[in-house]
Amino acid sequence: MTVTVTQLNRYIKAIIENDIRLSNVAVTGELSNFKLHSSGHCYMTLKDENSSIRAVMFKSSADKLRFRPENGMKVIVTAKVSVYERDGQYQLYINTMQPDGVGDLHVAYEQLKAKLGAEGLFDDSKKKKLPPYPKTVGVITSPTGAAVRDIINVATRRYPLAQIILFPVLVQGEGAAEQIAGAIKYFNTAGSISADVLIVGRGGGSIEELWAFNEEPVARAIADSQIPVISAVGHETDFTIADFVADLRAPTPSAAAELAVPSAAELKNKIRQSYGRMLFAIKKNVEGKKAILSRFSIKNPMDLINQNRIRTDNSVRRLINATTALLDAKSKRLAVAVAGINALSPLGVLSRGYSVVQKGGSLIRSITQVKSGDELSVRVSDGSIICEVAETKQ
């Protein structure tokens, strides 16, 4: 009897799948040739020092992984053994996978921490300062846990002026990370009902219960928030990814409330101290001014004004006298100068009996310049004489 290849492969597959020991087997080995297909299925080879076996993890199982499988990673898988009829190849169909030696949550935590750290999301330069006097505090946590009661009690006791807005979310389990991230984004786009500072957290718990604060959507939402974020996951020794990304980390929800708002009592005390210092400074300044005024004999301001008027009048009088004396001196100097000029003037010479003879506007200095019959103009001190030349004599 002969069988087809398909029949043979199908027969072998049936034998393997009917073996209950192969329906759910735990296998440890090292990952190699790992590929994440666009469909979401994962294809890989599981090997040890001597052998290897092909394996596949379908999307429905791969979506439940909390870490990212990588080549060279040692893992423990639970799978069933079956045959891929087309190739006649037996392989593992993996249901679950976890790192060998450490938990899958620990590996996922370290992987995401390294990834976000390399992107600079933990850098101090990206941390925003908290507002000193917030008007509104947004609280993102479970509405039924002790964390929200602690935050409200501490915040309202410390700073009653602040309004507290609660955005209730799941803080553990499926969908918690998405709700927390959505709440942070809501406050950043809420407009008039937005907050000045956000507190994101919950009470303490196991790593599994706190895991929502280690997921990438929450870390990204905190990093993208324009509103300062305080991480308030209730664990004092261990850190979540949210702690690293947040602008400030508080060890407990109560501590987060103390960091978010100032103490009204401390502010009142500071105001009283400032008022006292200001009052002391004013008194000291007034006393100093009084001491300066006491050095003056005049007590009445009008007396000081009248004295200033007298000093002003005296100054004006001295200025007028000095100006008059200066003008008299200048006038005398001017009279002397005018007399000197007049003494040298041709008119001054004429006044002493001399005359000036001109012909046609030209001065006559010699008898050779005229002849009989010429008309001459003789200038004397008080006018001119027009005459005619009768004769000239040497």
Give whole-number Cα distances, 391 to 268, 371, 372, 378, 387, in Å.
Answer: 127, 7, 5, 16, 12
The per-residue pLDDT string of the chain (394 residues; one tens digit each, 9 = 90 and over) reads 788 898 888 889 898 888 888 889 999 888 889 999 999 999 999 988 889 999 999 999 999 888 888 888 888 899 999 998 888 899 999 999 988 866 677 888 888 999 999 999 999 999 999 999 999 999 999 999 889 999 999 999 999 999 999 999 999 998 999 999 999 999 999 877 789 999 999 988 878 888 999 999 999 999 999 999 999 987 666 689 999 999 999 989 999 999 999 998 888 888 889 888 998 899 889 888 888 877 765 556 777 777 788 888 888 888 888 888 888 888 888 888 877 777 666 666 666 677 888 888 888 888 888 888 888 888 887 888 889 888 888 8
User: Alpha-carbon distance 198 to 178, whole Å?
Assistant: 17
pLDDT value, residue 217: 95
pLDDT value, residue 307: 77
- 182 half-sphere exposure, CB direction, 13 A CA radius: 10
pLDDT value, residue 258: 94
Per-position DSSP letters for 204-272, written without gaps between them? ---TTTTGGGGSHHHHHHHHH-SS-EEEEES-SSS--HHHHHSSEE-SSHHHHHHHHS--HHHHHHHHH
pLDDT value, residue 392: 86
- 110-262 — its CATH code? 3.40.50.2300
User: Alpha-carbon distance 375 to 360, whole Å?
Assistant: 8
pLDDT value, residue 75: 87
User: Alpha-carbon distance 151 to 205, whole Å?
Assistant: 18
For the chain, give every domain's residue range. Answer: 5-101, 110-262, 348-388
Residue 199 backbone dihedrals phi, psi, to 5 degrees:
-110, 120
Measure the N-to-C terminal CA separation of the chain; round to a whole number of Å: 186
pLDDT value, residue 325: 87
Residue with tokens 């996922």, as numbered in its chain: 108
pLDDT value, residue 102: 63
Buried b (16+ CB within 10 A) or exposed e, 11-26: eebeeeeeeeebeeee
pLDDT value, residue 323: 87
pLDDT value, residue 291: 82
Q: Which of 174, 166, 238 is nearest to 200 (CA)?
A: 166
Residue 254 backbone dihedrals phi, psi, to 5 degrees:
-65, -40
pLDDT value, residue 257: 95
120 torsion bin: left (phi>0), alpha (psi -120 to 50), beta (else): left
Residues 56, 92: contact at Cβ < 8 Å?
Answer: yes
**Protein fold of 5-101:** OB fold (Dihydrolipoamide Acetyltransferase, E2P) (2.40.50)
H or E segment to which residue 45 belongs? strand 42-47
pLDDT value, residue 347: 64
pLDDT value, residue 344: 67
Fold match flag (5-101 vs 110-262): no
pLDDT value, residue 178: 96
User: Alpha-carbon distance 102 to 84, whole Å?
Assistant: 32
